[in-house]
Amino acid sequence: MSDPRALMSNGRVAHVSLRGQVAAERFTEGTWMRVCTPVAALRDAPGGQGGRRARELVLHERFLALEETSEGVFGAAGRDGYVGWMAPEALAPDTAPMTHVVCARQSYLACVPELKDGRDDVELVSFGTPVRVSATHEDGRWAEVGRLRPAAECDGHKTEWTAYIPAAHLRPLGAPETDPVAVALRFLGTPYHWGGNSGFGIDCSGLAQAAHLACDIDCPGDSDLQRNALGEALAPDARLRRGDVVFWPGHVGLMVDASAFVHATAYGMAVVVEPLATVEARIGTRALVRRP
């Protein structure tokens, strides 16, 4: 309860679920918003106060806004309840439920559903981006979706514009993936980015979370939280297998098989697969292994 990353209170305002548990001037249900930029930082303090990027949200992810000030919006990420501050211009009204999610490491939104249109006005989007599919085109090769507009652009205007995305890059939200390792391997070569949660840049805990959430396995955002939440701890001499999650202080990754290890590493500045023995020689003996 005392961990500020999970406590939906900043002293002035708190979520109604905390009434009687924390002191606050005001309790609120909050307002659900959605991210309207390809990637947006979730900071540990308002940006004007030098808040550092703690995690990231991608386009159309939900954010429960509890308070808006001149310096930012305080609230919690919908995917895991991670608390922080977001820039107001990165948020838009949550107008409708989403139906699909981007399952490729990266995809793009185009202005027309044509493979060889050749126009330059496309927008890159990341793995994990939810979209609402309203129609398909060209024998199902393209999905028509609504792209949310920033809240400042919605006064008296449409809240979204129409875009098109390759249907092969989507999966239905109700059809989770089945193999976290296969998801993690999709990120091979992605640049290491501290606090990153996207196909444009990701860190070790962001990779572990993306892999598990895609398979409908609850997973917090930071490695110390994951160490306490994912599956069951294994004995130090347990034989490792695909999907086991290996931890060191401040680092985490997944076993591809009994010896190979996939992780986002600052050492190589990318998502890579290495022998676990090589990683242990560099970092030290693993601290813990958990099996989801």
pLDDT digits (tens, 9 = 90+) for 248-277: 999 999 999 999 999 999 999 999 999 999
**Sign (positive/negative) of CA torsion 123, 126, 127, 131?**
negative
Tell me the domains of the chain and their CATH numbers.
13-93 (2.30.30.40), 100-172 (2.30.30), 180-291 (3.90.1720.10)
* Structure tokens that stand for 177 in this block: 């993936």
Report how far residue 83's alpha carbon sits from residue 94's, in angstroms, rounded to the nearest whole number.
18
Cβ-based neighbours of 80, under 8 Å, separated by 6 or more: 209, 213, 218, 219, 220, 221
pLDDT by residue (tens digit) across 81-111?
999 999 999 999 998 899 999 999 999 999 9
Residue 281 and residue 283: Cα distance in Å, rounded? Answer: 6
Cβ burial, residue 231 (10 Å; 0-12/13-18/19+): middle
DSSP result, 2-22:
--TTT--B-SSEEEGGGBTTB
Do β-strands 13-15 and 26-28 pair in parallel, antiparallel, or remain unpaired? parallel
Q: How far apart are the first and last CA of the chain?
A: 24
pTM of the predicted protein model:
0.94
